[in-house]
A and B are shown apart, each in its own frame.
Chain A
């Protein structure tokens, strides 16, 4: 891992077109500006982690049978499956 020391308003360039600027430093947080082409995905790392965790949770479901215990009026309120969307 590369560790760089930067002052406020100093920049880092990653590749040819991703520019990172240190906008501000607070007591326990830093503000970072990112200039990147629209094709580059930029997300907070926690978002990735949360979605991964949720996927792992969802993958544990082995059956839809538990839904049968829901009251019928709830089940009837779901929109109906649009079968033609598939093909």
Chain B
């Protein structure tokens, strides 16, 4: 089917790709159907494009693309809501905000989007982890992630400490 969008013009989407958010996202309760659009090759950013209204779309990213770790508890009610039965069906995204200075872009870690890949049902959940705020600077997290990765790498290859990077 074809949909008209304000950002990408007319696009062809496949019905099977539609993710249904029964309650919509917080503050957008009237919009229930979305598709995920990839951006450029290799870019971790994607669009969560609304099918009901082509003007509505969010930039999303998988947290592990910029964070070393992201632990969120999916409550029983959230699991039931999206019909989640197996942990491997969880697809997790966070919504990105980009201010005038793009290096200050932030991710909303407190309100991640959970999608059940098995049935394409989604819900924006609320993380009960007090370290997850709605505005976490993505570049800060990337620095922490790089440092952690280096630490892990160094501990695995103690001889290469002076190595290339």
Contacts and interface: CB of A to CB of B under 8 A. Distances in A.
19 contacts: A38-B75, A39-B76, A41-B75, A43-B126, A52-B26, A54-B97, A54-B108, A55-B58, A55-B95, A57-B97, A58-B96, A61-B57, A61-B58, A61-B59, A64-B45, A64-B59, A66-B102, A79-B44, A80-B44
Contacts of A81: 38, 42-44, 46, 62, 65
Interface residues of B, number: 46
Interface string B3-31: 00011000000000000000001111000
Contact of B102 (A58, A70, A78): A70
Contact of A59 (B57, B75, B105, B117): B57
Given A43-B126, A78-B44, A54 B65 contact: no
Interface string A55-87: 111110111101101100010011111110110
Contact of A51 (B42, B45, B98, B134): B134
A47 B80 contact: no
Interface string B52-80: 00001111001011100000000111001
Nearest to A80: B42
Contacts of A56: 27
A40 interface: yes
B130 to A, nearest CB: 11
Q: Which 4 A-B pairs have the closest CB atoms?
A: A52-B27, A79-B65, A51-B111, A54-B134
Nearest to B146: A77
Q: Which of B25, B26, B117, B124 has the most CB of A within 10 A?
A: B26
Interface string B86-107: 0000010001111000110100
Contact of A48 (B46, B126, B145, B146): B126
A50 interface: yes
A52 B28 CA distance: 8
B126 A58 contact: no
A55 B27 contact: yes
Nearest to A79: B65
A41 B23 CA distance: 14
A56 B25 CA distance: 10
